[in-house]
Amino acid sequence: MFKVTRMHRKMFLWALLFLVLALIVLPYTSLLQASLSRNPGGITREMAQKFVEDDARNAFGDDAIVSTKTVTQSGDSWKAEVEIELEPHSACPKLLRRHYSLMPLLFVEERLVTSCEPRKPLGHRVEAIIAYASATGKPAGYYCAFKLPFSMQEAVNYCGAVEPSSVEAFAQSLEGAKWVIAFKDGETTRLAALDDYANVLATH
């Protein structure tokens, strides 16, 4: 008669454990393989966005504002469009756009706004700042520009030196305005509302 020993019990328990693990792990392995097939190279949308933003910040420094506009998957690679604002709170900010593809990480760069000459109609906040600073002749100070309708979250992330609630209160009182400019000179903050052609509609 077959005698069950302690060794047999251990072997049985180990075999049972491996069977349970196999039943648990195999479905997740299939999901991982499916995920990798959808994300070439194992790169997710979030990873692609971080790669391009890190690349732009390494190129232009922490003072630049880097904004990812689009991230899309194209065949076996990712494509991303990134805007870079240089000297963003000066009277003469610059605007670049990079069209990225990865992997490998490559880009084509457009220089959209590179001079201090006003451009109308206003299509971007750097153009609104340049137009207002040029019209008022105030080269020094800290500038922010907000496209209306006003976004508190954008203001907090973009314009740290100006109290967002004061800009929001001013923006809520406006009619027909497209932009709000905040200009800080020392402890004084001035607000101006502009239309798309940089005409000043109201000040505070």
Other beta carbons within 10 Å of 114: 11
189 DSSP β-pair partners: 184
Task: Domain ranges for the chain, please list them.
Answer: 42-113, 125-203
1, pLDDT greater than 60: no
* Mean pLDDT taken over the chain: 86
Each residue's pLDDT tens digit, 82-115: 999 999 999 999 999 999 999 999 999 999 999 9
Amino acid 27: pLDDT? 46
Cα separation, 88 vs 127, in Å, equals: 11
Amino acid 76: pLDDT? 84
Which residues, other chains included, contact 159 with Cβ-Cβ below 8 Å and sequence gap of 6+? 89, 144, 146, 167, 182
117, pLDDT greater than 80: yes
Is the C-alpha dihedral spanning 116, 120, 126, 128 positive or negative? positive
Other beta carbons within 10 Å of 135: 14
Supply the pTM of this predicted model: 0.78
- Mean pLDDT, residues 123-145: 95
- Mean pLDDT, residues 39-50: 84
Amino acid 25: pLDDT? 40
Cα separation, 146 vs 136, in Å, equals: 18
Distances from the Cα of 28 to the Cα of 22, 46, 179, angstroms:
10, 21, 51
Nearest CA to 144 out of 96, 120, 157 is that of 157
**Amino acid letter, 59:** A
Residue of 3 and 108 predicted with greater confidence: 108
Amino acid 30: pLDDT? 41
DSSP conformational letter for 115: S
- Mean pLDDT, residues 18-46: 53
Amino acid 52: pLDDT? 97
6-20, 49-63, 183-197: least confidently modelled range: 6-20
Hey, what's the torsion of the CAs at 52, 155, 178, 198, to 10 degrees? -80
